[in-house]
Structure 1
Amino acid sequence: MTLVQENPPLLRSIGQPRLLAGLKEGRADLRHHLWTHGRQPQLSREAYSELAAAVGLRGRGGAGFPVALKLADLPAKGIEAVVVNGSESEPLSRKDRLLLTLAPHLVLDGATGLAQALQAREVLVAVHDATAAASIRAAIEERQDAVPIQVSDTPGRFVAGEARAVLSILEGGPAVPPGRRVLPTRKGYRQRPTFLSNVETFAQLAVLARLGSREFSSTGLSSEPGTQLLTVAGAVQRPGVIETPTGVPLETVLQYAGAPVTGPVLIGGYHGQWLPRPDGIKLSRPEVALGAGIVVALGPDTCPLGEVYRVAQWLASQSAGQCGPCVFGTAALVDDFGRLLYGDPAGWHDAHRHLGLVPGRGACAHPDGSVRFLASALEVFGDDVRAHLAGGCGRAVLGVLPVPGGTW
């Protein structure tokens, strides 16, 4: 297969890169991958569990669940599949599709190595980005793995990236999470035990298998060693994906990206939370809800409330349509924030009331994540809210927070 490759996105590292090593020139084919990383060692299930526990490795998607605990929850036999969740439908995130596009063999090493250790029947890669899908398919043609690998295209809707929604898609079902919250380790693909995690997690496993726990822990925090990928966006001069040691100060990341080191910052994306300022914040899980590793600087020139209102409209449009808290709750919040934007005090009161009613009642995490984003906005942008109630803040909405269909 001839892979048509676009110019590589902006990527950098603070310290020595691991996941992004050798990618400055673009996509790494198998030869370049092996030259950079060497061959993947064949490890047992016990070895993977011990390594993951020794370094406290957490999943690099939204939940940050410890990998060792996920492995321990799997039965000794009968594991159906290892699933790579590449449905990076969070509009602000670029790190997973970057790995699939530029470092596909690193991701596949982590997935196939673990699948062989677990004696899983196959590896399934779910991905919604066409360029990333083409890259991973081209990489599979270069390899000779002992375990079959299948790539499935998924829709780009926000809720379609949720783990249970991905499993539904892989089985030919709708791209929405079912109401029952059953762990994939118990009932996953084809209702059988499945190890499912996001793209970066598998790349980290591939690096960990090669380095061992001691060398892997030579950078980052002692409580969560290693590196992490962050997508930095918003009012920054150099947006893109940055690999940093865990625990790096948020101010350092902003400075590196050419962003203001004062003012509000969004952490974790549109299911994340606003911070009033970056000082004193170190980026590590679980101390900070990093979610999919997203850092967005808002900057001083745009209208914060208007930006939040645009995102609230998009979040409501992404409802799976299967429960009241999501269908009616997010729609009510859009109305509340719209009235507040135009100076209606009742919008402020109704927003607080609805924000207290929605959490914990949805069929999936979308209502809770939306409330987290909106509630923290009301808290952090209190001065802006008061300005709008008094007649307006005087700033235009510049679209610093991108929604699908726009640019970032």
Structure 2
Amino acid sequence: MMLLQDTTVRVIGDPRLLSGVDQGRLDHQRHLWTHGAQPDLTREDYLKLTDAVGLRGRGGAAFPVALKLADLPARGIEAVVVNGSESEPVSRKDRLLLTLAPHLVLDGATGLARALGAPHVLIAVHDAEAAMSIREALMERNDGLAIEVADTPGRFVAGEARAVLSALEGGPAVPPGRRVLPTRQGHRRRPTFLSNVETFAQLAVLARLGAKRFSSTGLISEPGTQLLTIDGAVRRPGVIETPTGVPLEAVMQFAGAAAGPVLLGGYHGRWLPHSGGVVLKRPDVSAGIILALGTDTCPLGEVHRVAQWLASQSAGQCGPCVFGLAALVDDFDRLVKGDPAGWHDAERHIGLVPGRGACAHPDGSVRFLASALEAFGEDVRLHLADGGCGRQVRGVLPVPGGSW
């Protein structure tokens, strides 16, 4: 166990990504002692390995890595992009890797870039400590590639893949309305492999272990380990490395979580009424975020606080985001106060927003709000019948400006 800026780091089972970090940041020498040298693999090697273990991206989309590799052209790949813009306010796993195990991330990115024949590796980071760590790591190694660390904004939508690509080219850090895959038109409008920080660390581990050893833990369908950020009503918040498929209840007990509802996947995720009977796997766990709500706070009031923040993070480029999310904030405000019209309007607006936005922010926000109405049905009844549930809003769900 160790601390990084008040973030507790723990492991269930044997560590892989977090191996050696109990002694602090791994410089290049300690990294090689811990993990060994990075093998020189071909593109076909990476394709076979990622397909054999069913590796999915460890960001929000959980897209199969092998399919992303197969979609790239045979030549002319411009860059490998590491998306370290971890703008989800709860998540800490990617910046933890960049800060404590930067060489594992760099091994994954540079190894893949060489295999693909990509001349550039671009690392987008919005956290100052993580950016400093990765820049220090680059000074400790010589990869023979053009590697650039770019500072990006920390707004929620700025972490979306197309927003990151726009920012890397000097444009606004917002997703453009046209949805084109980076594998077709990425950096400089050329084919690009882009994924999040943990994905590249997993590639580095997979390259060293091979498919058989990598598959010695976790689910058969997607073996290996995963990083989870847990927060909310827990005694031991922080980042946990676990095998894939670990029961949610085991992680909650390990972190000292209070009983009650659980949010999986962060503020674009979904609510569960309790943690029983759930195993943690992609895409359900999405960006690896678990939030325990407990039973001492008003659930609908907590959801309304987050809805306000989500609306404030709009890119401002489409009606469903600008007007739809603002309307839902007003709906939930009236619902919390016991107005039946607020509940009816929320149900109506939730049905109108999905699939109409310029990016995934409206859809993800609606998913969060819709699952709240379903999971907190009894609380909705109490608010509509009695004007409240009798509990104060304690601010259990972290939002920027609050405490970690």
Change (3 A) 1:176 1:7: closer
Please tell me the residue identity of whatever aligns with 2:374.
E
* Distance (Å, rounded) in 1 between the aligned partners of 2:260 and 2:377: 13
* Distance (Å, rounded) in 2 between the aligned partners of 1:196 and 1:43: 19
User: What pairs with 1:4-403 in structure 2 (closer than 5 Å)?
Assistant: 9-260=7-258, 262-286=259-283, 289-389=284-384, 390-403=386-399
* Distance (Å, rounded) in 2 between the aligned partners of 1:49 and 1:147: 21
Say whether the 8 Å CA contact 1:27–1:103 is kept in structure 2.
yes
Query: Per-residue displacement from partner, 1:200-258 (whole Å, max 9, x unpaired)?
Result: 00000000000000000000011100000000100000000000000000000000000
* Distance (Å, rounded) in 1 between the aligned partners of 2:371 and 2:11: 30
Note the C-alpha offset of 1:6.
5.9
Say whether the 8 Å CA contact 2:229–2:238 is kept in structure 1.
yes
Query: Per-residue displacement from partner, 1:7-31 (whole Å, max 9, x unpaired)?
Result: 5731111100000000012111111
Of the structure 1 ranges 293-302 and 382-391, higher mean CA displacement relative to structure 2 is found in: 382-391
Q: Secondary structure at the match of 1:274?
A: strand
Say whether the 8 Å CA contact 2:9–2:238 is kept in structure 1.
yes
Query: Per-residue displacement from partner, 1:185-213 (whole Å, max 9, x unpaired)?
Result: 00000000000000000000000000000
Note the C-alpha offset of 1:348.
0.2
Query: Per-residue displacement from partner, 1:63-118 (whole Å, max 9, x unpaired)?
Result: 10000000000000000000000000000100000000110000000000000000
Q: Secondary structure at the match of 1:251?
A: helix
Change (3 A) 1:406 1:7: closer
Number of residues paired by the alignment?
A: 401
Change (3 A) 1:67 1:6: closer
Say whether the 8 Å CA contact 2:216–2:223 is kept in structure 1.
yes
Please tell me the residue identity of whatever aligns with 1:398.
R
* Distance (Å, rounded) in 1 between the aligned partners of 2:229 and 2:68: 26
Please tell me the residue identity of whatever aligns with 1:379.
E
Please tell me the residue identity of whatever aligns with 1:32.
R
Say whether the 8 Å CA contact 1:7–1:26 is kept in structure 2.
no
Say whether the 8 Å CA contact 2:336–2:387 is kept in structure 1.
no
Q: Secondary structure at the match of 1:139?
A: helix
Say whether the 8 Å CA contact 2:7–2:237 is kept in structure 1.
no
* Distance (Å, rounded) in 2 between the aligned partners of 1:396 and 1:37: 49
TM-score normalised by length of structure 1: 0.97
Q: Secondary structure at the match of 1:98?
A: helix
TM-score normalised by length of structure 2: 0.98
Q: Secondary structure at the match of 1:283?
A: coil
Please tell me the residue identity of whatever aligns with 2:357.
G
* Distance (Å, rounded) in 1 between the aligned partners of 2:98 and 2:210: 23
> For residue 404 of structure 1, what is the aligned residue in structure 2?
400
RMSD (Å) for aligned C-alpha atoms: 1.0
Note the C-alpha offset of 1:391.
2.1
Q: Secondary structure at the match of 1:78?
A: coil
Q: Secondary structure at the match of 1:54?
A: helix
* Distance (Å, rounded) in 2 between the aligned partners of 1:9 and 1:277: 25
Query: Per-residue displacement from partner, 1:251-283 (whole Å, max 9, x unpaired)?
Result: 0000000013x4210000000000111111000
Say whether the 8 Å CA contact 1:22–1:36 is kept in structure 2.
yes
Please tell me the residue identity of whatever aligns with 1:321.
G
Say whether the 8 Å CA contact 1:246–1:284 is kept in structure 2.
yes
* Distance (Å, rounded) in 1 between the aligned partners of 2:79 and 2:210: 25
Say whether the 8 Å CA contact 1:8–1:26 is kept in structure 2.
no
* Distance (Å, rounded) in 2 between the aligned partners of 1:49 and 1:12: 31
Say whether the 8 Å CA contact 1:84–1:124 is kept in structure 2.
yes
Say whether the 8 Å CA contact 2:260–2:273 is kept in structure 1.
yes
Q: Secondary structure at the match of 2:216?
A: coil
